[in-house]
Structure formats: C-alpha cells, structure tokens
C-alpha cells in the first residue's frame, strides 16, 4: 500500500524543489503568503503556551511542527468555503480569517471564542474525536443541494481514523459525492498511542479505497505539497467530482496538550531528524532569493505586537455573563436547572 500511495513532495528538507514542474506556479506572492501565515501562527502558538503556564488560559493543545499542514490547506480554500477544525487547528482557522482575540477567549473558556467573523464559515473547534467529519460532510452536502460550488474541509488527526464517525463520514461523502476535503494530519501519535498500535494499515490514505474516493499521501512538512494538493482536491470538489481523503504526514514537536508529558510514551530523540516546516520554507527562500533578513525581523516584530494586542484584548473583554452557564441549551429550562440558576445568581450577589 505504501507503494500505491507514495508520499507527494515538492520541496525537500533543504528547501530545494524536487518537482520542477511547479517552478512557475511558485511565485513570490505565494511564498511570502505562506511564510507570513506560518510565522504568524507559530508566534500565536508559543504565546498561548506561555499564557497557559502563567495560568491565564486553560489547558492548551500546541501545534508547532504542523504549520505547513494548517496554512497550506487553509490558503487553498475560497472565501465562502466551510472549515471544521479540531481542538488543534486554530492555526488553520486563524489563516482562514478567525479573529485572534476570540481565539484567545476560546482558550480562556469563553463562549465568545466560538463566534466566527461575519461571512466566515468556521465551526467551533471539535473536542470530541472525529465528530466534525460528519458535520463537514453534512454542510458540504447542503451546499451541493443548494447548487453552490462551496466545499467543506474537515481536519482530523490519525487517532480519529479509529472512530466510527470517520468511517460513517467517508461512506456518506462517497455515496452522495459531497464536496468534502477530508484532511488528516498524521503526526504519528493518537495522544499516547503510536499509530502502529491504533491501526494495522500502512497508510491512512489507503482507507480511501474502501469508499471509492481519491486518496493521496503528502509530505505534511512541505507547505508547497500541502497547498497544491489541497487546491487540486478543492477544485475537483467544486467541479462536482466528490470528496478526497488527504493524509499529510507531519510531526508535532511538543506535547499533545499542556497537561501531557510526551516523555512518558515518545522515545527520547524521536522526531529530532525531522526538519521544521518553517525552517524548510526559509531555506527555500534563501536558496531562491526571496529571503530578506531585515524584512523578516520587521515582520516578526509586527506579529509579536499583533499577538500582544490580542492578549490585551482578551484581558479587557467584558466579564462573562453568569447566565451563560444555563442559557442557550434548552428553549425552556427544566425546573431543576431553573432552581440552580436562581440559586447561583443569588449566591453571586453575596
């Protein structure tokens, strides 16, 4: 199966193009766009970890090492498309247009963090594993029935492929030929379980065969491969050719979450030979004359300011409404919850 699903790569670890057919499609605008967003979300990610360690936000799932997957795929989408993220795909949603202040609010436990900007179809992050796949297939099916050319992308990790929702979603997408991109980020571990302990398949891409849909395997640390292969799948979906399963092989450098200790289950030194996706892109920029040391320093300063401003915006956001604990679930609160609500509000009054 690995031979049937070879890993697509456009740029190698040293930043050299290994597929010259893409030379003309990789222009300065695309390179700078990819670099800007990858550096931006890494700056956000590192700040979020710092905030969690300070106790200013809750448990946080870092994504460093997966920036090429998230940025490359998000940039391949169109304005009206739908994004269904997991709890680790805030890099993709930020690239797609999510508000950074609200992103910090989400990790601060605020429901306001689930609100997407006007006109942006971004679902709240799915913490239950694989449930967002069904939502994405449903949304894309609705768009197909309405006669639009909008597509939906569902992000999920390798562990999600062991869930029933994954198989149900792929089956439905295949039967109804929904315009869905099923984007898997295979970082080698489903929490503390290595991939070989949670599936016997050699690849995730091969699972597409059972559902009669295209399946591709790409180097998830190669932002060009991610961008162009996702774009190809998006265009196919828009043209009515149904779903595509993409397996992006990548590596998360940090813990599963800030509450996790990967030294308990990841062998020491594992992943040390994997070249960081941002480093790879920067090597390409230096090789091909796109690198400007001062411009990058200026950009980093600008991104630092943006992130700090967003943190300030989170801190200055109006205090939460205590009634949010009870509202927005039932049309009419059951008597026992109404009683709890009244007790709680009286308690807050002192």
In the annotation, is 22 catalytic?
no
Sheet holding 215-219, edge to edge: 7-8, 215-219, 244-249, 180-186, 152-157, 82-84, 121-122
Q: Which of 40, 121, 217, 252 is catalytic?
A: 252
Known active-site residue 155: no
Q: Which residue shows structure tokens 């594993």?
A: 129
Number of residues that this document lists for the chain = 350
Q: Which of 37, 256, 280, 283 is catalytic?
A: 256
Can you tell me the distance from the alpha carbon of 190 to that of 100, in angstroms, rounded to the nearest whole number? 27
Beta bridge partners of 84: 154
Is 252 noted as a catalytic residue in this protein?
yes
Catalytic residue among 22, 36, 265, 290: 265
Q: Is the separation of the CB atoms in 124 and 72 below 8 Å?
A: no
In this structure, what token pair is assigned to residue 18?
A: 């290994």
**Contact at 8 Å (CB) between 52 and 318?**
no
One DSSP character per residue, 93-148 reads HHHHT--HHHHHHHHTT-GGGGPPPTT-EEPPPB-STTHHHHHHHHHHHHHHHHT-
H or E segment and range at residue 84:
strand 82-84
How many whole angstroms separate alpha carbon 234 and alpha carbon 70? 15
Annotated catalytic residues are 252, 256, 265
């Amino acid at each position: 199966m690995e031979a049937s699903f070879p890993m697509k790569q456009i740029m190698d670890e040293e930043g050299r193009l290994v597929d010259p057919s893409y030379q003309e499609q990789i222009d300065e605008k695309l390179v700078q766009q990819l670099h800007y967003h990858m550096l931006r979300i890494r700056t956000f990610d590192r700040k979020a970890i710092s905030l969690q360690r300070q106790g200013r936000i809750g448990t946080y799932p870092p994504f460093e090492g997966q920036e090429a997957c998230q940025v490359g795929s998000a940039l391949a989408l169109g304005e009206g498309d739908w994004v269904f993220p997991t709890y680790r795909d805030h890099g993709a949603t930020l690239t797609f247009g999510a508000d950074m202040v609200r992103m910090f609010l989400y990790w601060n436990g605020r429901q306001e963090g689930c609100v997407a900007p006007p006109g942006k179809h971004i679902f709240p992050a799915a913490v239950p594993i694989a449930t967002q796949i069904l939502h994405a297939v449903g949304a894309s099916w609705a768009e197909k029935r309405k006669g639009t050319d909008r597509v939906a992308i569902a992000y999920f990790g390798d562990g999600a492929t062991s869930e029933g929702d994954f198989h149900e979603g792929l089956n439905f997408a295949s039967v109804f030929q929904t315009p869905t991109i099923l984007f898997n980020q295979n970082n080698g571990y489903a929490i503390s379980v290595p991939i070989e302990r949670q599936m016997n398949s050699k690849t995730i891409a091969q699972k597409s065969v059972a559902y009669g849909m295209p399946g591709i395997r790409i180097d998830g640390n190669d932002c060009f491969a991610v961008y162009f292969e996702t774009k190809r799948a998006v265009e196919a979906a828009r043209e009515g050719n149904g779903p595509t399963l993409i397996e992006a092989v990548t590596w998360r450098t940090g813990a599963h979450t800030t509450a996790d200790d990967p030294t308990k289950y990841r062998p020491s030194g594992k992943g040390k030979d994997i070249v960081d996706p941002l480093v790879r892109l920067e090597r390409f920029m230096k090789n091909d004359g796109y690198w400007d040391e001062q411009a990058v320093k200026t950009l980093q300063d600008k991104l630092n300011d943006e992130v700090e401003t967003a943190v300030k915006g989170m801190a200055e956001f109006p205090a939460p409404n205590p009634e949010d604990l009870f509202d927005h679930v039932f049309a009419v609160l059951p008597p026992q919850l109404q009683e709890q609500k009244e007790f709680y509000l009286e308690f807050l009054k002192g």
